[in-house]
């Protein structure tokens, strides 16, 4: 399976080849034209005086060489995304089940011992109220 370093290395290699063919381009310019082939071709044409057809042919050669690698990167990214979604969904379902189990346990305790449960809830509420009251009076 591809790693992040493979992906970064492939992109670096592709940018390096473009810069090797057209030494006038720097990393900032490549980022600027990323995704807009017409602007890139126009810029190279203005910078070098090279014919548009020649530029497009060289870019097509680079594209043919690197497309399989980029498609593999895309597939790997999709696989990671799908695995993440699947793992997250499974974790959320386990959490939901645990909450439901704890809720059922709490309901069973309340049914078995209703008076004790009410007393505990009342005590917890009083303690919480006191703590909140003390904290709010200190913050003034």
Let me know if residue 117 belongs to a domain.
no
Contact indicator for 38, 32 with CB cutoff of 8 Å: no
Counting the structural domains of the chain, the total is 1
pLDDT at residue 1 above 70? no
CA distance 1 to 24: 35
Please indicate whether residue 108 or residue 67 has the higher confidence score (pLDDT). 108
Burial of 73: CB neighbours in 10 Å, binned 0-12, 13-18, 19+? middle
Range of the domain at 27: 4-103
Please indicate whether residue 57 or residue 99 has the higher confidence score (pLDDT). 99
Let me know if residue 116 belongs to a domain.
no
pLDDT at 38: 78
Query: How many Cβ atoms sit within 10 Å of the Cβ of residue 23?
Result: 10
Let me know if residue 64 belongs to a domain.
yes
Let me know if residue 76 belongs to a domain.
yes
What percentage of the chain reaches a pLDDT higher than 70? 82
The model's pTM: 0.42
pLDDT at residue 4 above 60? no
CA distance 14 to 125: 64
Which range, 5-19, 31-45, 53-67, has the best average confidence (pLDDT)? Answer: 53-67
Please indicate whether residue 87 or residue 5 has the higher confidence score (pLDDT). 87
Let me know if residue 120 belongs to a domain.
no
Let me know if residue 113 belongs to a domain.
no
Let me know if residue 127 belongs to a domain.
no
Let me know if residue 109 belongs to a domain.
no
């Amino acid at each position: 399976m591809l790693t992040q370093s493979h992906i970064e290395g492939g992109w670096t290699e592709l940018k390096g080849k473009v810069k090797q063919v057209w030494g006038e381009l720097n990393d900032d310019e490549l980022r600027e034209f990323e995704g807009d082939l017409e602007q890139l071709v126009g810029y190279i044409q203005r910078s070098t005086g090279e014919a548009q057809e020649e530029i497009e042919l060289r870019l097509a050669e680079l594209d043919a060489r690197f497309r399989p690698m980029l498609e593999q990167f895309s597939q790997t990214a999709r696989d990671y995304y799908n695995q993440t979604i699947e793992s997250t969904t499974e974790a959320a379902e386990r959490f939901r089940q645990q909450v439901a189990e704890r809720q059922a346990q709490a309901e069973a305790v309340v049914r078995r011992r209703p008076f004790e449960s009410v007393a505990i809830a009342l005590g917890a509420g009083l303690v919480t109220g006191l703590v909140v009251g003390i904290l709010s009076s200190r913050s003034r």
